[in-house]
């Protein structure tokens, strides 16, 4: 039987050595299991290490965390799973962090593996035996480990499935034991470039409804990891084929088959999936079949925008991922707002506002954070705003100010959602002139906002105390209204000094006073 070649990071080897010594001193038997073994066999980098211990993991993991100087988090108290996070940079989330999951062995190692999800994750190596093998240095910061094949514990032929590129359930009860595995199967396909075994696919379809029993936090984590993969739009379509997507987000069911005006190529549901794909296309994550490079060349993408979309919003999420999620949900309220006018044309009045409320309900159910929910809510609520900023001309400074005032931190993201919505509406029937005009408008708004900070956040020339003291106004809403009108005038370039600001307010108050006087006389 041929030896195995496994690849592991040097820092992980050093870390495992410390863990092995600690556990050995405690007399605890331990195994490397799951995705860590799989990725070593595939030669993939991984920041996650899975260790099964023959004691209560929740009791030992805090002690290991103290030994390593990491943070302990109980992940699953019912099944005895604890996590240690070793921070790469201080005590903050970072791509360089290592996560170690300690699980409690369920019986012996073979019995434990029998309760795991997929064969490629149901392999194990005794930790001490793994570390007893020689490490061969590699130039890319990895170490090569030559391990006797007899030391790989592989009761379900996971290694063969790795060679074949197949995701296969360990047992017919795998999804009944943990329904989060339903979406995980698709996520593994996306991450590894594998396919799902036909019998396993049939099991997923049979049990897809069980996804509703999974805690929202776990669904959120799997969904975000799936959205981080290339071709997320196609992955979501596959989730729908398996019956998982609409079980997870039942509000999407009503969107199927809902026709739209002739300018739309797809119904509401398929348009939503296509919008996820066009977001990826515009952010440089891949191709989109109906469009060519000439279409992308007209889009206002710049590498200077990459840090914005890569910005972390909450643990596991970025602006990029939440933009894709908003793309999926942006027309979620179209079915209930659809009406037909006298000419038989479909209208969806108010769907952004109703859709924003629906999106909030969905994300709260899936336990997204307050910051994540707020960003998606703004994206859905204002996704039509960029096309309403002007007609047949570039937006005015005042219009751009109002846009960023209302959309806040989501302003840039909404501009790209509007472009993605445009592409996913016309598909291969895209009017190049209309697309060019839309892209030109977005680029203009982006340029003005990035180059002129005062356009979206004018410097304060007067405050409420000034208006009360100088003009004798009483505290109240009227003061705020006047200050907002002043800010708009600043953004439009009409007021640039404090002196002019005072004159502007005086003029407003005089006009208001005159208008009220004339109205009173007219009533008489």
Which tens digit of pLDDT belongs to each residue from 54-87?
A: 999 999 999 999 999 999 999 888 888 999 998 7
- β pairing state of 81-86 and 71-76: antiparallel
Which band of pLDDT confidence, cut at 50, 70 and 90, is reported for residue 513? low
pLDDT score, position 512: 62
Q: Which residue has the higher pLDDT, 519 or 321?
A: 321
pLDDT score, position 365: 97
Domain chopping of the chain, boundaries: 4-158, 165-248, 252-456, 464-523
CATH architecture, range 4-158: 2-Layer Sandwich (3.30)
Query: What distance in Å separates the CA atoms of residue 21 and residue 13, rounded to the nearest whole number?
Result: 12
pLDDT score, position 492: 73
Residue 6 clears pLDDT 70, i.e. is over it? yes
Q: What percent of the chain has pLDDT over 70?
A: 93
Residue 522 tokens, joined: 């007219």
Helical (H) or strand (E) element with 382 = none
Residue 451 clears pLDDT 90, i.e. is over it? no
Q: Which residue has the higher pLDDT, 142 or 355?
A: 355
Residue 480 clears pLDDT 50, i.e. is over it? yes
pLDDT score, position 523: 41
Q: Which residue has the higher pLDDT, 306 or 139?
A: 306
Query: What distance in Å separates the CA atoms of residue 210 and residue 416, rounded to the nearest whole number?
Result: 35
pLDDT score, position 392: 76
Residue 516 clears pLDDT 50, i.e. is over it? no
Burial class (CB in 10 A: 0-12, 13-18, 19+), 209: middle
For all residues of the chain together, what is the average pLDDT? 89
Rg (CA), the chain: 29
DSSP alpha helices (H): ranges in 198-318? 198-207, 216-227, 232-241, 245-248, 268-282, 293-298, 306-309
Q: What is the mean pLDDT of residues 165-192?
A: 96
Task: Return the C-alpha torsion angle 43, 48, 54, 57, nearest 10.
Answer: 180
CA distance between the termini of the chain: 105
- β pairing state of 98-104 and 81-86: antiparallel
Is 359:380 a contact under the CB 8 Å cutoff?
Answer: yes
pLDDT score, position 5: 81
Residue 334 clears pLDDT 70, i.e. is over it? yes
The reply to whether the predicted model has a pTM over 0.75 is: yes
Q: What percent of the chain has pLDDT over 90?
A: 64
Mapped onto helix, strand or coil, the DSSP state of residue 523 is helix
Residue 169 tokens, joined: 């359930």
Query: What distance in Å separates the CA atoms of residue 339 and residue 331, rounded to the nearest whole number?
Result: 15
Tens-digit pLDDT profile for residues 377-433: 999 999 999 999 888 789 988 889 889 989 989 999 999 999 999 999 999 999 999
Residue 324 clears pLDDT 80, i.e. is over it? yes
Mapped onto helix, strand or coil, the DSSP state of residue 399 is helix
**Most confident residue range from 34-48, 102-116, 292-306, 387-401:** 102-116
pLDDT score, position 292: 74
Which band of pLDDT confidence, cut at 50, 70 and 90, is reported for residue 342? confident
Which band of pLDDT confidence, cut at 50, 70 and 90, is reported for residue 89? low
pLDDT score, position 452: 67
Which band of pLDDT confidence, cut at 50, 70 and 90, is reported for residue 129? confident
Residue 519 clears pLDDT 50, i.e. is over it? no
Classify 165-248 by CATH class.
mainly alpha
Residue 247 clears pLDDT 80, i.e. is over it? yes
Residue 351 clears pLDDT 90, i.e. is over it? yes
Is 332:255 a contact under the CB 8 Å cutoff?
Answer: yes
pLDDT score, position 440: 95
pLDDT score, position 118: 98
Q: What is the mean pLDDT of residues 101-114?
A: 94
CB atoms within 10 A of CB 345: 10
pLDDT score, position 521: 40
Q: What is the mean pLDDT of residues 137-159?
A: 81
Residue 371 clears pLDDT 60, i.e. is over it? yes
Is 106:94 a contact under the CB 8 Å cutoff?
Answer: no
Is 123:113 a contact under the CB 8 Å cutoff?
Answer: yes
């Amino acid at each position: 039987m041929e030896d195995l070649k496994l690849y592991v990071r040097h820092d992980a080897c050093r870390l495992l050595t410390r863990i092995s010594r600690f556990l050995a001193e405690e007399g605890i038997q331990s195994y490397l299991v799951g995705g860590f073994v799989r990725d070593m066999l595939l030669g993939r980098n991984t920041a996650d290490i899975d260790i099964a211990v023959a004691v209560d993991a929740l009791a030992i993991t805090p002690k290991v965390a103290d030994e390593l100087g990491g943070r302990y988090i109980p992940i699953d108290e019912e099944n005895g799973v604890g996590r240690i996070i070793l921070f790469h940079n201080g005590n903050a989330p970072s791509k360089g962090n290592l996560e170690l999951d300690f699980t409690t062995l369920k019986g012996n190692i073979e019995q434990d593996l029998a309760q795991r999800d997929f064969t490629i994750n149901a392999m194990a190596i005794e930790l001490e035996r793994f570390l007893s093998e020689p490490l061969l240095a590699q130039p890319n910061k990895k170490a090569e480990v030559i391990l006797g094949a007899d030391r790989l514990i592989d009761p379900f032929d996971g290694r063969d499935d790795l060679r074949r590129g197949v995701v296969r359930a360990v047992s017919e009860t795998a999804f009944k034991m943990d329904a989060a595995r339903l979406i995980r199967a698709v996520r593994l396909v996306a991450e590894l470039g594998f396919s799902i075994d036909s019998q396993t696919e049939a099991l997923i379809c049979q049990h897809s409804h069980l996804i509703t029993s999974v805690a929202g936090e776990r669904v959120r984590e799997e969904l975000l990891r799936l959205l981080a993969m290339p071709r997320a739009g196609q992955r979501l379509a596959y989730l729908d084929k398996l019956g998982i997507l609409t079980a997870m987000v039942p509000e999407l069911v009503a969107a199927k088959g809902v026709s739209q005006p002739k300018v739309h190529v797809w119904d509401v549901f398929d348009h939503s999936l296509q919008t996820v794909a066009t977001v990826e296309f515009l952010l440089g994550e891949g191709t989109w079949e109906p469009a060519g490079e000439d279409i992308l060349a007209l889009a206002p993408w710049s590498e200077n925008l990459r840090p914005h979309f890569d910005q972390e919003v909450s643990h596991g999420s970025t602006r990029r991922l939440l933009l894709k999620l908003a793309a999926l949900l942006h027309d979620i309220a179209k079915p209930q707002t659809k009406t037909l006018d006298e000419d038989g044309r479909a209208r969806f009045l108010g769907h952004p506002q109703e859709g924003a409320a629906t999106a909030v309900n969905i994300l709260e159910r899936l336990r997204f954070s307050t910051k994540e929910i707020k960003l998606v809510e703004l994206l859905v609520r204002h996704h039509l705003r960029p096309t309403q900023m002007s007609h047949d001309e570039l937006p005015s400074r005042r219009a751009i100010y109002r846009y960023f005032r209302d959309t806040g931190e989501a302003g840039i993201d909404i501009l790209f959602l509007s472009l993605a919505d445009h592409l996913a509406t016309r598909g291969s029937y895209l009017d190049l002139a209309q697309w060019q005009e839309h892209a030109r408008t977005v680029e203009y708004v982006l340029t003005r906002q990035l180059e002129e900070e005062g356009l979206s956040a004018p410097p304060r020339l007067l405050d409420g105390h000034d208006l009360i003291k100088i003009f004798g106004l009483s505290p109240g809403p009227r003061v705020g209204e006047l200050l907002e009108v002043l800010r708009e005038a600043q953004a439009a370039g009409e007021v640039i000094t404090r002196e002019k600001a005072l004159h502007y307010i005086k003029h407003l108050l005089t006009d208001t006073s005159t208008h009220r006087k004339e109205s009173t006389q007219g009533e008489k």
